[in-house]
């Protein structure tokens, strides 16, 4: 997910539509949405306008139907959504269909996969005419917003169920080192690095922390009973003690925004361990070979409008990239960001990703 969405029932219904490739228009949605900013018109003068603009995205894509209806009304385009798994699977699909894509525009590639998409020439050159303050802070290194436009950001972090640790009279862990302590044996679940973009981010967090010794850390982590889940949904919603399935693991890989969604009686029941966080940014771009380039450009512009940016926290549980965008009240108190998230350069990720993933698979399959 991002991988990382705490998807409401309404969102699940919307995603069910998106998987079938249906429009996500909103004639009868009763949800509230802020008025949109007006994207730049991209219709080509005199040429027949293609009405459909096809978005290829990850399975956690969700924005309010009324908001999307406003985009369609203002631009004259009809948004069609094609979900393609998490960020990793999305990237693989885009690389395999490079030059002959299944859509016009993509949203959801993150900084752990961006370099691969750029190296494989997945995206056409496009920079919005107006780039609001703050956006360029999240540009992909070496691209500078020429092909991929930053849309949101968050941090992948280890989260703990503070109520579970209080009930068991055990201090909660604070660092990556703590996770290999026998006191926490069998308590941690994480999505896999080969099957999940958050899982890949966690692998990179350990690489950033331990350097070339990271396989030794993972050997210790697995020996201490760490469980590998296919994806974030399984890890958080099923295995985590504060997830929807009331699982048995009180330590889980999730996001810095996660505690804002486990608030009860004015207090969050979970906490993100800020020393374990890896920065995660999501991007949008026009696909090389798109049939509807003006529509794709209009969609990228729209994602940076005030209405969309302010809807991101409650819709996809990520932080907006546009500076000054208001956040939900609970976020100020419970969605605390790390001051210095862990990072690995995109160049190193691109050069060593396959080697690292093979090493990780070898260690975790023993």
Q: Show pLDDT as tens, one digit a residue, over the chain (366 residues).
A: 444 444 433 333 333 333 334 444 333 333 333 334 555 556 545 556 789 999 999 988 999 999 999 999 999 999 999 998 878 889 989 999 999 999 999 999 999 889 889 999 999 999 999 999 999 999 998 899 999 999 999 999 999 999 999 999 999 999 999 999 999 999 999 999 988 889 999 999 999 999 999 999 999 999 999 999 988 889 999 999 999 878 999 999 999 999 999 999 999 999 999 999 999 999 999 999 999 999 999 999 999 999 999 999 999 989 999 999 999 999 989 999 999 999 998 889 989 999 999 999 999 998
Structural domain that includes position 210: 155-278+333-364
| 312 shares a domain with 262 | no
- Tally of structural domains, the chain: 2
Please give the Cα distance from 140 to 136 (Å, whole number). Answer: 9
Tell me, yes or no, whether 71 and 127 share the same domain.
Answer: yes
Q: Is residue 1 part of a domain?
A: no
- pTM (predicted TM-score): 0.81
Q: Does 74 lie in the same domain as 219?
A: no
- Whether residue 113 sits in one domain with residue 68: yes
User: For residue 239, is it within any domain?
Assistant: yes
The gap from C-alpha 131 to its chain's centroid, in whole angstroms, comes to: 21
Same domain, yes or no, for 221 and 146? no
**Cα–chain center distance at 36:** 23
H-run or E-run covering 267: strand 267-268
Write the CATH number for 89. Answer: 3.40.190.10
Task: Indicate if 135 and 203 belong to the same structural domain.
Answer: no
CA distance 90 to 86: 6
Q: Are residues 245 and 192 in the same domain?
A: yes
Taking the mean position of all CA atoms in its chain, how far away is CA 124? 22
Cβ neighbors of 181 (< 8 A, separation 6 or more) are 173, 224
| Closest to 154 in 3D by CA, of 277, 61, 311, 330 | 277
Q: Is residue 2 part of a domain?
A: no
Asked if residue 193 and residue 127 are part of one domain, the reply reads no
- In this structure, are 64 and 213 located in the same domain? no
pLDDT at 366: 84
- Phi and psi (nearest 5°) for 37? -75, 165
pLDDT of res. 103: 97
Look at residue 3 and tell me if it is in a domain. Answer: no
Asked if the structure places residue 4 within a domain, the reply is no
């Amino acid at each position: 997910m991002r991988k990382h969405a705490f998807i409401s029932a309404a969102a699940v219904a919307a995603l069910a539509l998106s998987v079938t490739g249906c429009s996500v228009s909103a004639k009868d949605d009763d949800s509230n949405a802020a008025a949109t900013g007006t994207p730049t018109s991209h219709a080509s003068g005199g040429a027949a306008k293609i009405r459909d603009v096809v978005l290829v995205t990850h399975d956690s894509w969700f924005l309010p139907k009324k908001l999307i209806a406003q985009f369609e009304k203002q631009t004259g385009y009809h948004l069609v959504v094609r979900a393609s798994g998490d960020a990793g699977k999305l990237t693989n699909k885009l690389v395999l269909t490079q030059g002959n894509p299944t859509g016009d525009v993509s949203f959801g590639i993150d900084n752990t996969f961006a370099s691969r998409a750029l190296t494989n020439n997945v995206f056409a050159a496009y920079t919005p005419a107006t780039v609001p303050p703050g956006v360029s802070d999240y540009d992909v290194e070496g691209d500078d917003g020429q092909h991929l436009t930053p849309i949101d950001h968050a941090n992948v972090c280890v989260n703990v169920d503070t109520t579970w640790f209080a009930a068991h009279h055990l201090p909660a862990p604070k660092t990556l080192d703590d996770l290999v302590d026998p006191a926490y044996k069998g308590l941690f679940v994480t999505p896999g690095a080969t099957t999940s973009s958050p899982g890949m981010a966690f692998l990179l967090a350990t690489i950033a922390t331990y350097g070339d010794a990271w396989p030794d850390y993972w050997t210790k982590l697995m020996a201490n009973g760490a469980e590998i889940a296919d994806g974030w949904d399984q890890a958080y919603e099923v295995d985590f003690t504060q997830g929807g399935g009331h699982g048995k693991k009180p330590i889980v890989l999730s996001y810095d925004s996660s505690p804002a969604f486990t608030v009860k009686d004015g207090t969050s029941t979970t906490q993100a361990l800020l020393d374990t966080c890896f920065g995660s940014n999501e991007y949008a771009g026009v696909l090389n070979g798109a049939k509807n380039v003006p529509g794709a450009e209009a969609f990228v512009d729209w994602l940076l409008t005030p209405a969309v940016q302010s809807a991101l926290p409650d819709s996809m549980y990520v932080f907006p990239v546009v500076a000054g965008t208001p956040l939900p009240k609970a976020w100020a108190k419970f969605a605390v960001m790390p001051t210095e998230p862990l990072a690995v350069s995109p160049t190193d990720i691109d050069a060593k990703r396959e080697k690292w993933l093979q090493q990780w698979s070898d260690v975790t399959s023993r």
